Amino acid sequence: MVAFPAGTQVGWRQRGWGGMRGPKPEAVELTAAERQEVEALLRRHSTPQQLVLRARIVLAAAAGGNNAQIARDLAVDSGTVRLWRGRWLGLRAASRAELPVEERLTEAPRSGAPGRITAAQVCRIVALACAAPARSGRPISPWTGREVAAAAVARGIVPARAPRHAERLRTRGRSSPTASAPG
């Protein structure tokens, strides 16, 4: 057992044991222009809240906070802080002219195949699902995903039936089940 002098606090925090796990995160350094642009994003009322949160993470990292402290202060997961600190540091080589601050704080494009249904087709499918089925000559009262898909193919909106996709569009809140009621 280790003996400590009288009056010494013995907790692990007071003795400096294990207060921080892992390596210290790399420091974020902002130029005056970058800081000004990040702060302008925070002040702008039209900035999406996702960008506001990421801007706050970058500013807190530039102020010297570690990931756990920033996560606690902003009520987010430390993985989120780690991701955006790393993304900011990874893009620091790009000039502001090449990659403005707002673009640095936007999400990277998702991987995978591009969508096969265009936005215009989605609008037409949603409009179809919002209309009463009787207008389309369907003898049903509420639309089902299968019926919406069949009607979309019959009208030439999409080339092939996609009942699962039509059902997702119908139930995602984009069309109201009461709007498709007869009457």
DSSP 134: G
The structure tokens listed for 12 are 């692990």
Give the pLDDT confidence of 37-75 residue by residue, as tens digits: 999 999 999 999 999 999 999 999 999 999 999 999 999
Nearest CA-CA partner of 117 in 54, 159, 56: 159
DSSP of 25-80 = PPPP---HHHHHHHHHHHH-TTS-HHHHHHHHHHHHHHTT--HHHHHHHHTS-HHH
Give the pLDDT confidence of 78-119 residue by residue, as tens digits: 999 999 999 999 888 888 788 888 898 988 777 888 777 788
Q: Does this model's pTM top 0.85?
A: no
CATH class given for the domain over 23-104? mainly alpha
Sequence spans of domains, the chain = 23-104, 119-174
Could you tell me if residue 106 is left (phi over 0), alpha (psi between -120 and 50 degrees) or otherwise beta? beta
CA pair distance 124, 155, nearest whole angstrom: 10
CA pair distance 43, 39, nearest whole angstrom: 6
Phi, psi (rounded to 5 degrees) for 135: -65, -25
